[in-house]
Amino acid sequence: MLSRIRMSRKSRGCWKHGIFMLGSFQPAPGWRAIEKSLYKVNSEGIHNSAKLKETTIVSNLDSSNNAEQTKGQIDFTNYDFQNAFSFRSTGEIFRSYLIFSLCSYPILVNNSMKLMTYGQNILGKRIFENLMRKTLYGQFVGGQTESEFLLTARQLTKIGIGTLLAVPMEEDATGNQTQDNWYDENANVIQRCIKLCATMNNNYPMMQLKITAVVPADICARLSAAFPEPSANPETVKDVARVFAEGREFHHNSLSSYDTESLNRGLKRLKAIAKCAAQHGVLVLVDAEYTYVNPALNLLTLAMVMQYNRDRPIISYTYQNYLKSTFHTLKKDAELISSNGLCFGAKLVRGAYMEKERHLAAKKGYPDPVHETFESTSNMYHQSLYYLLDFVKGSTKSGFVMVASHNEQTIKKTIERMRELSLNPKEGNVFFGQVYGMCDHVSAVLGQNGYLVYKSIPYGSIEATLPYLHRRALENKAVIGSTRRDREIAREALIQRFKQKMFPTRLRKSDITHP
């Protein structure tokens, strides 16, 4: 399925000068087979009637039990390991413990991409792929085929966890991206993934989208330079929206004729994706990326919102709270969309590109855009969170916030504020999100207590997902506290699993201790 980005020599040179030049995506090995499996599933029957529910979601758990559970406080230190890890085998729990232990060694994390490349060359494809399935790939990827992905999704559904399909098109991979047909193939794959999401048993089907998978990032960088604050240029946003509505082309004097043609081809791909999502009732959460392309991503997202969010928040943007400017951007975007009588959705993250952003700022000589400390990042995250919770409570239009966080305190703050505002956890105003393979205990507790929680799950060939796995390792190093917590919990879950097998009649719930 999933395309692998490769950086040309020219692109690598541009990265050295602070501009990451992306052309097109080269299909990775195994892409054709997965594409065919997707086509088969979609051709056999798509649930075209899958629409977003404006009313209460039907929980997988008993509704009366959920009503009682959500009255009390969520407690992440006093949970039932048997239920929290019911979808994990003992071997998978041990794998989690091993991987999170290895992530505590910076030398391994920083060189993980090189190590995986060397391993592939030395061990050969077959042995290397078997090793990856038992380690990093098996931990963080939902499967290589559509059937494997659906099996993973069904296992999560049993404990009240939804699926947020992530197409692992990583911008820091190597390759040659020069031909538009490669971008066209990516757009086709994304639309098939949207249709796949619509077949799943979720009242709120979702998937993530990287705009640079269908619009060249070098074009996005130049568009960002022309429009550094899109919400301050509402007429420009509306001009781009008219491209989606009327099929006209977008022109601006800051763009060359080549850039204009390339941008408009990308806009056609985005139009097809957004239209497909609207038809199938699938929420599309647009990823934010690097600061030098983010204004363009924000502009194109706002334009899609103008066209497709009249009745439902089909399109939403991701706000990276490790950036000092994020709350200002979020507030201006919400005000712009609200003033036009449209639905507004937002995904909140802390951020995944901190080290590269700081390195680039130091190299180019401009102020560091990233908060100095984790605490200041968390303060802005909570400021954005409270603003959005108040916004969705007071808005007359449908809206939501996706709280994408592994931080237990952030999740507790969200739940407390939801209670203060009397926001029903089942009505689709607030979602929680964690990465597949991380923070399983938090996801399970939320799902068991009736909250709408999703796992961000990629799937595709091992080779196609290597850059994604490298970024997962880097993120684990950046949030070492969360990694340590995951490791401790995996260790405790292993102990309890062995106790249960050795003394099945002696283990009582009161015997369970917690890290």
**From start to end of 59-205, where are the E strands?**
161-166
Q: How confident is the model at residue 471 (pLDDT cuts 50, 70, 90)?
A: confident
Instruction: For tokens 């969309």, name the residue.
Output: 337
The DSSP annotation for 454-494 comes to EEEEE-S-HHHHHHHHHHHHHHHHHTHHHHHHHHHHHHHHH
Q: How confident is the model at residue 255 (pLDDT cuts 50, 70, 90)?
A: very high
What is the pLDDT, as a whole number, of residue 117? 86
Residues contacting 232, CB < 8 A, separation 6+: 332
Decide: helix, strand or coil at residue 512: coil
Say if residue 81's pLDDT is above 90.
no
> Tens of pLDDT along 117-168?
888 889 988 998 899 999 889 999 999 888 899 999 998 998 899 999 988 7
Q: How confident is the model at residue 10 (pLDDT cuts 50, 70, 90)?
A: very low
Contact call for residues 128 and 419 (beta carbons, < 8 A): no
Distance, in Å, from the CA atom of 302 to the CA atom of 292, rounded to the nearest integer, reads 17
Say if residue 409's pLDDT is above 70.
yes
Say if residue 34's pLDDT is above 70.
no
Q: 139 is written with which tokens?
A: 């931990």
Q: How confident is the model at residue 29 (pLDDT cuts 50, 70, 90)?
A: very low
Residues contacting 96, CB < 8 A, separation 6+: 88, 139, 437, 440, 486, 487, 490
Decide: helix, strand or coil at residue 320: strand
What is the pLDDT, as a whole number, of residue 171? 46
Q: What is the rounded average pLDDT of the residues 480-509?
A: 75
What is the pLDDT, as a whole number, of residue 170? 54
Say if residue 175's pLDDT is above 50.
no
Q: How confident is the model at residue 211 (pLDDT cuts 50, 70, 90)?
A: very high
What is the pLDDT, as a whole number, of residue 11? 39
Decide: helix, strand or coil at residue 41: helix
Give the number of other Cβ atoms within 10 Å of residue 367's Cβ. 7
Q: How confident is the model at residue 476 (pLDDT cuts 50, 70, 90)?
A: low
Distance, in Å, from the CA atom of 349 to the CA atom of 410, rounded to the nearest integer, reads 11
Say if residue 25's pLDDT is above 70.
no
Q: 438 is written with which tokens?
A: 């991380």
Q: What is the rounded average pLDDT of the residues 495-512?
A: 67
What is the pLDDT, as a whole number, of residue 15? 35
Q: How confident is the model at residue 79 (pLDDT cuts 50, 70, 90)?
A: low
Residues in the chain: 515
Q: How confident is the model at residue 460 (pLDDT cuts 50, 70, 90)?
A: confident
Q: 294 is written with which tokens?
A: 């983010």
The domains of the chain are located at 9-78+144-171+178-466
> Tens of pLDDT along 290-348?
999 999 999 999 999 999 999 999 999 999 999 999 999 999 999 999 999 999 999 99
Higher pLDDT, 390 or 116: 390
Please report the sign of the dihedral spanned by the C-alpha atoms of residue 4, residue 321, residue 53, residue 156: positive
For the question of whether the overall pTM of this predicted structure is more than 0.75, the answer is yes
Environment class of 362 (CB within 10 Å of its CB; exposed 0-12, middle 13-18, buried 19+): exposed
Q: How confident is the model at residue 28 (pLDDT cuts 50, 70, 90)?
A: very low
Residues contacting 433, CB < 8 A, separation 6+: 164, 347, 402, 403, 404, 405, 453, 454, 455, 456
Count H helices and E strands in the chain, helices first. 22, 8
Q: How confident is the model at residue 182 (pLDDT cuts 50, 70, 90)?
A: confident
What is the pLDDT, as a whole number, of residue 514? 47
What is the pLDDT, as a whole number, of residue 478? 60
> Tens of pLDDT along 42-67?
444 434 434 443 333 333 333 334 43
Q: 90 is written with which tokens?
A: 């003992």
Alpha helices in 210-317 (DSSP H): 217-226, 234-246, 257-280, 294-308
Contact call for residues 25 and 183 (beta carbons, < 8 A): yes
Say if residue 72's pLDDT is above 70.
no
CATH architecture group of domain 9-78+144-171+178-466:
Alpha-Beta Barrel (3.20)
> Tens of pLDDT along 349-407?
999 888 889 999 999 999 999 999 999 999 999 999 999 999 999 988 899 999 999 99
Mean of the per-residue pLDDT values for the chain? Answer: 82
Percent of the chain with pLDDT strictly greater than 90: 52
Say if residue 31's pLDDT is above 80.
no
Q: How confident is the model at residue 259 (pLDDT cuts 50, 70, 90)?
A: very high
Q: What is the rounded average pLDDT of the residues 261-273?
A: 97
